[in-house]
Amino acid sequence: MSASSENNGQIFALIAEFETPGAIMSAAEKVRDAGFKNWDVITPFPVHGMDQAMGLSRSKIPIVAFCGGLTGFTLGMSMVYYMNKVDYPLVVGGMPYFSPVFPFPVAYELTILFAAIGSIISMFLFNSLPMHHHPTLNYEQIEKASNDRYFIVIESTDPQFDETKTPNLLKDIGGNNIGKLED
């Protein structure tokens, strides 16, 4: 609620608005090249190629998904082994108590279940969500950010941040309505 006008709070970041995906893309490249670290781009949909423009590495989620899948498969197989062979051997049609074949559907489904849950949980953890109190959410124009406008947020904690130079940089790269976000 309390952006730009009142200045009694701590400045969290500067925010600038852009009109098109093309404009935000080239602006992001310039912010990246200027060497900023604690900054972000707010878009209503994932803009193709923005990760490279921001200089972000590939997401680590597949690693978690793989570990989840491996856990699920191992859990499925060992569960059946323990239950049908060790704890209560179950004689069915004179067949062996355990074989890797018949528990396969169970292990397979658990592989998928654990990989899916793993990737969703890690997505929330890596993104630090849910977080309902982020200063960006208090920005009065936030409605535009989930509709058809694009924003660059440069945080004051960035070592390069400067109260006079950074607004000029945002202006130079084509940003409009440059405002302040407060903590």
> Would you say 75 and 49 are in contact if contact means Cβ atoms under 8 Å apart?
no
Phi, psi of 170 (to 5 degrees): -60, -35
Nearest approach in angstroms of CB 162 to other proteins is 22
Name which of 81 and 160 has its Cβ closer to other proteins.
81
The structure tokens listed for 25 are 């893309």
Name which of 85 and 178 has its Cβ closer to other proteins.
85
Nearest approach in angstroms of CB 152 to other proteins is 10
Nearest approach in angstroms of CB 139 to other proteins is 9
The structure tokens listed for 159 are 């070592």
Whole-angstrom Cα distance, residue 161 to residue 154? 8
Find the angle CA(45)-CA(50)-CA(51) to the nearest 5 degrees: 115
Whole-angstrom Cα distance, residue 167 to residue 12? 14
Residues at the site binding other proteins, with contacts judged by CB under 8 A:
20-22, 24-25, 28, 40-51, 54, 56, 58-59, 61-62, 65, 79-80, 83-84, 87-88, 90, 92, 95, 102-103, 105-106, 108-110, 112-113, 115-117, 119-120, 122-124, 126-127, 129-134, 136-137, 142-143, 145-148
